Amino acid sequence: MPTTKKRISKNKGNIFIISAPSGAGKTTLCRMILEQLDDIEFSISYTTRPPRPGEVDGRDYYFVSKDEFMQMVQEEEFIEWAEVHGNLYGTSKKRLLERVSKGIDVLLDIDTQGAAQIKEKGLEAVYIFILPPSLSVLRERLEGRASDSEDVINRRLKKAVEEIAAYKMYNYVIINDKLDEAFELLKAVVLSKRVAIESIDTDWIEETFLKG
């Protein structure tokens, strides 16, 4: 059986921008989407932050020095970049546009500053904000991850409130209380975008059904 998706989708991928305060579960949810859906890739950002245990260069991030990062800024290689929690993070413009032009959906896990920069550039994207059920649950998750010091966790919690204040910029808001439920909602957003009228190859419909 041929797949319907390949036939009726335009030959252009969608951009999904996911933001959330650190610890809300973005990484977990993005991984689930990438594991369970086809034709979607993660946009691997560049960062000056050191790798956490288990993180792999070229899979989770491209880990670069500050000098290397600033060189890329100068050469305008980033579609957006920002300082988050004292480290620099950026998205490669070339790589992103290349994947989208090949018909592949791309998932960007970026902060609210980066999302705002992409919005300003007028790039078509779906903006999704993930919230934790409460600030106390957010703290528990950050502590549970056990990869950051108490000082870093406190800074991240303070920053969380500033980030949540930007929620109105997003098209969808998902509360990550029960992981499976949050995942189903995120999956629904991705799948519904794929069949939205603006994603559909209308030429194919005209050719197949309406000509002659």
* 54 near ligand ADP, rule: CB under 6 A: no
4 to each of 1, 179, 192, 200, how far by Cα in Å?
A: 9, 29, 14, 11
Of the candidate residues 13, 25, 90, 114, the single one contacting ligand ADP (CB under 6 A): 25
* 2 near ligand ADP, rule: CB under 6 A: no
Nearer to ligand ADP, 1 or 56 (CB): 56
Residue numbers at the binding site for ligand 5GP (CB under 6 A): 19, 22, 45, 49, 80, 82, 84-85, 89-91, 109-111, 113-114
Please answer whether residues 80 and 127 qualify as being in contact, where contact means their C-beta atoms are separated by less than 8 angstroms: no
CB under 8 Å to 91, separation ≥6 — which residues?
Answer: 43, 45, 46, 78, 79, 80, 81, 108, 110, 114
Q: CB under 5 to 8 A by kind: which of ligand ADP, ligand 5GP, none does 80 bind?
A: ligand 5GP
* Cα 159–chain centre separation: 19
Distance between CA atoms of 115 and 145, rounded to whole angstroms? Answer: 25
Please answer whether residues 156 and 21 qualify as being in contact, where contact means their C-beta atoms are separated by less than 8 angstroms: yes
Q: x/- site string to ligand ADP, residues 125 to 164, per CB under 6 A?
A: ----------------x--xx-------------------
Q: CB under 5 to 8 A by kind: which of ligand ADP, ligand 5GP, none does 179 bind?
A: ligand ADP
Backbone torsions φ then ψ of 28, nearest 5 degrees? -60, -45
Q: What is the DSSP letter of 165?
A: T
Overall size of the chain counted in residues: 212
* 61 near ligand ADP, rule: CB under 6 A: no
Give how many residues touch ligand ADP by CB under 6 A: 13
Nearer to ligand 5GP, 13 or 114 (CB): 114
Nearer to ligand ADP, 52 or 94 (CB): 52
Q: CB under 5 to 8 A by kind: which of ligand ADP, ligand 5GP, none does 89 bind?
A: ligand 5GP
Please answer whether residues 80 and 92 qualify as being in contact, where contact means their C-beta atoms are separated by less than 8 angstroms: no
Q: Which residues bind ligand ADP (CB under 6 A)?
A: 20, 22-28, 141, 144-145, 176, 179
